Amino acid sequence: MNKNQYVAIMAGGIGSRFWPMSRTNLPKQFLDILNTGKTLIQATYDRFAAFIPAENIYVVTSNEYINIVKKQLPQLPLQNILGEPSRKNTAPCIAYISFKVQELDPNGTLIVAPADHLILDNIAFTKVCLEALSFVQKHNALITLGIKPTYPNTGYGYIQYEQQEVANNVYKVKTFTEKPNLELAKAFISSGEFLWNAGIFVWQVKNVIKAFEKFLPEMYDVFHAEREFFNTTEEVTAINRIYPQCTNISIDFGIMEKADNVYVIPSSFGWSDLGTWNSAYENLEKDYLENAVAGDNVIVFDSLRNMVHSQNDKLVVLQGLEDFIVVDSDDVLLICKREKEQDIKEYVAEVKRNKGDKYL
């Protein structure tokens, strides 16, 4: 393992589309959505620990989740759990870990990845990450991992890339497109020039910090002014001064869409962002009637293509349902059509209006 290689696992989101399993006090990255025996963040940590030194793996999360991270990842050094005082999207999170690593190791290379994605082929994932680390070690490059699309998904961002390799399996990025409509997604797929944007990045920390200086100078200035406090007992106090001054902006919009040294590695490693119950359905084993069941105590009669998630200590019996999402938690039962899953955020907002925060 290379002591100059680092990982930042981003684990601060609230995962509202997986309500009612995902709650404000225990969001989806800390859940075993697919009944694998590991939570999503545990699987993400294990994936990286196979090829990155354990002491070089960091988790950046909301202050309110620090104790959950400690509990779920007891092998992670406490100083490697970084708390954010407020949610400001991915750019401040990435600035934080980048400045911190630069103070530790000016030659450090960094992988940044979400805590809550599903990756089925860990061997292929490791291979791609090592290729990316090797490339950025030799070039002033910001790499993003692109997923070879299998169908016209309208829930993902897309990356268009030039067809000429600049190195083995590394290509220059032409454009980024946010979630397209179905017709545009179909056109992207048929062109053969587009990949899904996995939101996994690789770079030398010094080069991404240069990008902050160029494209997000105000954010660069506030982190740069406090850099001497990183990796000291004053770090938390410094972060509490920095974050109120940061814009709420994603790294994609703030830097990746503007920089001219962005490259992509087309990849296939069984990736899903597990953003919705339908994505969980797609990645769970199905019975002969195409029901996906996460829970050991569910009995299904005359029901087709349902996504069912329940607790193991409660018996759930379904009859006559087709194409439904059924999620049974301690205090909430959700039953809705699978085609309406994008409305779950609206249901959560309505619950908040009518019932307050008790069920959120």
Instruction: Give residue-wise pLDDT tens across range 50-104.
Output: 999 999 999 999 999 999 999 999 999 999 999 999 999 999 999 999 999 999 9
pLDDT of 15 above 80: no
Task: Give residue 179's pLDDT.
Answer: 84
Q: DSSP assignment, residue 76?
A: S
Task: Give residue 13's pLDDT.
Answer: 84
Asked whether the beta carbons of 336 and 343 are under 8 A apart, the reply is yes
Residues of the chain with pLDDT > 90, as a percent, come to 76
Task: Write out the two tokens for 23.
Answer: 């709650």
Task: Give residue 216's pLDDT.
Answer: 97
CA distances, 25 to each of 104, 118, 360 (Å): 32, 21, 8
Asked whether the beta carbons of 142 and 201 are under 8 A apart, the reply is yes
Task: Give residue 274's pLDDT.
Answer: 86
> Which of 261, 329, 260, 265 has the alpha carbon at shortest distance from 294?
329
Task: Give residue 193's pLDDT.
Answer: 86
Task: Give residue 290's pLDDT.
Answer: 96
Task: Give residue 212's pLDDT.
Answer: 97
The answer to which of 13-22, 92-101, 244-253, 263-272 has the lowest mean pLDDT is 13-22
Q: How large is the average pLDDT for residues 37-43?
A: 94
Cα 341 from chain centroid (whole Å): 19
Q: How large is the average pLDDT for residues 225-238?
A: 95
pLDDT of 34 above 90: no
Report the b/e string of 332-345 with b at 16+ CB within 10 A. Answer: eebebebeebeebe
Task: Give residue 165's pLDDT.
Answer: 86
Question: Hey, is 189 helix, strand or coil?
Answer: helix
Task: Write out the two tokens for 316.
Answer: 């759930």
- Residue 145 phi, psi dihedral angles, 5° rounding: -90, 125
Q: How large is the average pLDDT for residues 45-52?
A: 96
Write out pLDDT tens, residues 174-196. 989 888 888 888 888 888 888 99
Task: Give residue 19's pLDDT.
Answer: 92
Task: Give residue 154's pLDDT.
Answer: 80
Q: Which domains does the chain have, with CATH numbers?
A: 5-272 (3.90.550.10), 277-355 (no CATH)
pLDDT of 273 above 90: no
Asked whether the beta carbons of 47 and 119 are under 8 A apart, the reply is yes
Look over the chain and give the mean of its residue pLDDT values, rounded to a whole number: 93
pLDDT of 2 above 80: no
Task: Give residue 309's pLDDT.
Answer: 93
Residue 344: HSE in the Cβ half-sphere, 13 Å Cα cutoff: 27
Task: Give residue 313's pLDDT.
Answer: 85
Task: Give residue 71's pLDDT.
Answer: 97
Task: Please give the Cα distance from 195 to 31 (Å, whole number).
Answer: 28
Residue whose structure tokens are 């194409």: 323
Write out pLDDT tens, residues 114-172. 999 999 999 999 999 999 999 999 999 999 999 998 888 888 889 998 888 888 889 99
Write out pLDDT tens, residues 282-316. 889 999 999 999 888 999 999 999 999 998 888 99
Task: Please give the Cα distance from 294 to 298 (Å, whole number).
Answer: 9
Task: Give residue 41's pLDDT.
Answer: 97
Cβ neighbours of residue 278 closer than 8 Å, sequence gap 6 or more: 307, 325, 338, 341
